[in-house]
Structure 1
Amino acid sequence: MEHVNQTKVMRRMNFRLFKNSLSKYIFLLATLFGLVVLAILIYRVVSQGIAWIDLDFITGKLSTQPERAGIMGAILGTFWLMLVVAPVTMFFGVGTAIYLEIYAKKGRLQGIIQTNIANLAGVPSIVYGILGLTVFVRVMDFGNVILAGGLTMSLLILPIVIVASQEAIRAVPQHLSEASYGMGATKWQTIKNVILPVSLPGIMTGAILSLSRAIGETAPLVVIGIPALLMPFPGGILDKFTVLPMQIYYWTLDSSLVAEYANLAAATIIVLLVALLILNSSAIVIRNKFQRKY
């Protein structure tokens, strides 16, 4: 009887080991598949666009002639867009997270707000474009300028910044804030001098990664009518503009008519990937710097 039981136990153990090995190889194949597809995509883009990147391409204006086209207008438009998105998102995102985590009473209402914020993070970006078109372009009559585009993109990434900031604030050790209160500090003094400095690496990391998403989004800007036509360089938040993803989108469409536009789109993708790489790397540097400090 004992021999039979031992045999059953061994069979179960062998079956579990087999499932473990099978799962490991399935996950390995899934990872390799993603890496191979990414490598093919990067190779295709780099091989097609790297020869088109030069100083004239970076600093030039848009042109109907592919060999004379440049992306400085799109670069400046992206820069001005981020000048609107970054402060608006940080102020309202971090402020909302502080209120929900520290000031708001725990209860059903806070739970409803939390659930809705989490759900908003998963709403398709084109829905935010429709909201921006209705509120900022038509109701507030901003038109399709940088300010309207920036506020629309702020709505898009605001839930992500709120959730990331809340997680960073929750990660602050409770004894630090209790020690501050014990020394007679007010709630705001504790937030300013203890909670925010300690949670800043997580907040900044989430904010920068959210800005990276905003830089690469196209659908909301298409909905609010951002053009990709020949235009002067934008010089303020009330100017019309275009951005790098929009330029890639329109050049990809035009590549069916003129083959050179596909090369211009690939070159612009390389520039955009470099910008995203710099942003994501800065998020890692900021996080490591403040983690060592605090």
Structure 2
Amino acid sequence: METLLIYLFVGAAAGTIAGLFGVGGGLIIVPALVLVFTTQGVAPEILTHMAVATSLATIVITSISSIRTHHLKGAVDWSIFAVMTPGILLGSWLGGVTAHLLPGAWLQLLIGFFALAIAFKMWLDGFRRARLPEDGGRVPGRPALTVAGATIGWASAIFGIGGGSLTVPFLNRCRVRMQRAVATSAACGLPIAVAGAISFAVQGWGEPQLPAWSTGYIYWPAFLGIVLTSAFFARFGALLAHRLSPQVLKNCFAGLLCIIGLRFIWLNFHLLM
């Protein structure tokens, strides 16, 4: 029971932060689960893989609600989604394979650098005025969108995220209007999470150090606790966000990501020496 309460708290924290800062919960769920699994004595060789896999599994559930909301508003560009999805599925599967081949320490190191990159990008965006292109710009052809989908899916599966921090900037540069880019990115998060989670489940199948109630690297007690609270607290975070300055929120979240990234890098700095 105590363990489930911890996972409920992780889901509540991830949901609140996701709603508050307008980002996917994976950027919070993965570091939080790494910390929780470490304190619970999970083998260090597999705990980061479990955190990433479980995060992707939770995104399957949370993305469905997000997609429905965006679809009802008519904001999803399903033509772009349809072209990118085959690449996303392949890339996400390969991302799970790549992560499986990486030692846990190296995987944490990569996640640390990724968190720092996202933090600095958020700070840079705050210093320059964002340009919001209008619809009607040129979207790349099928081959380029497929390759982009594969690349985004591959990186997202490795980091345990829904890909919004990668898909939105890509679509925005393709002159897809911001609201449409965000909605289409949310839709792309579902195949990323499904293919990535299945890949991690297959890659981890039969791993002797996994705890009970695992399917490959997916740990179901953590999954259950997170999905039970994350959606509710995401709405709470979104309501709270309207009472605070958007730029202050972005700076605070970037600072949090910076702390997470530096911690992961510091713990595994010996690999770079």
Higher CA-based Rg: 1
**TM-score when normalising by structure 2:** 0.29
Larger RCO: Structure 1 or Structure 2 (Cα < 8 Å, ≥ 6 residues apart)?
Answer: 2
